[in-house]
Amino acid sequence: MMRALGWAGFVLAVCACGDSSAVPASVPPAAEAPAAPAPVTPTAAAAPAAVNPCNTPGPLTIELEAGVIQQTPWGLELTYAIDDDKKHGPGYMFLLRSGTRRWETRRDTRNWTQPLTWRGFCWRGADRPERRASRVKLDIAPVCKDGVLQELGGCGDALSAR
């Protein structure tokens, strides 16, 4: 099976280049190419340490552009889209991601500055945007207690200037 796949790749490469005279005679068939080195498992010392958001807990103001994913220094990804809902009026649909988990929420003029907590991060809209703004600003901060990210219990004073 591997030999057939190797030859198929070789034939495709020859066809893509034109005629077979362009391939030097000294090129070995793909099936005889040396095996790729085995993947190296990183040691604990070589693997990057996970960033603890509580090491730098202060609030951060970030600017987002519609449809563009922005990542915080803590690894949280945010993006938004303009949402014109006939029932609820104009607003913004936000998508937050952390690892494999994701959360969607809608913000509009009624709840723009209301703090929300998700996965230990408190965030709210900053500087009220114009209707259908292609750029918005958010205030965001990790919610920490004794150096540990808190997923429950609300925002507390996480968004207060320290």
**159 in a structural domain:** no
Q: Say if residue 105 is in the same domain as residue 145.
A: yes
Q: Say if residue 6 is in the same domain as residue 62.
A: no
Q: Say if residue 58 is in the same domain as residue 136.
A: yes
Task: Tell me the pLDDT of the chain (162 aa) as tens digits.
Answer: 444 444 334 333 334 444 444 444 454 454 454 455 454 444 333 334 467 889 877 899 999 999 999 999 988 999 999 998 888 888 999 999 988 999 999 999 899 999 999 999 999 999 888 888 999 999 999 999 998 988 888 888 888 855
Listing DSSP states for 96-115 in one string gives: EEETTEEEEEEE-TTTTT--
Rounded to 10 degrees, the C-alpha dihedral 30/33/38/39 comes to: -50
Range of the domain at 124: 53-149
**14 in a structural domain:** yes
Q: Say if residue 141 is in the same domain as residue 68.
A: yes
Q: Say if residue 97 is in the same domain as residue 129.
A: yes
**43 in a structural domain:** no
For residues 134 and 40, give the distance between their C-alpha atoms in angstroms, rounded to a whole number: 44
**112 in a structural domain:** yes
Phi/psi-derived region of residue 66, left when phi > 0, alpha when psi is between -120 and 50, beta in every other case: beta
**8 in a structural domain:** yes
8-state DSSP, 152: S
**41 in a structural domain:** no
Q: Say if residue 80 is in the same domain as residue 18.
A: no
CB proximity list for 102: less than 8 A, separation 6 or greater: 95, 96
The CATH code of the domain that includes 124 is: 2.60.98.10
Q: Say if residue 142 is in the same domain as residue 72.
A: yes
- Number of domains into which the chain is organized: 2
Q: Say if residue 91 is in the same domain as residue 61.
A: yes
Q: Say if residue 132 is in the same domain as residue 62.
A: yes
Q: Say if residue 57 is in the same domain as residue 28.
A: no
Q: Say if residue 65 is in the same domain as residue 143.
A: yes
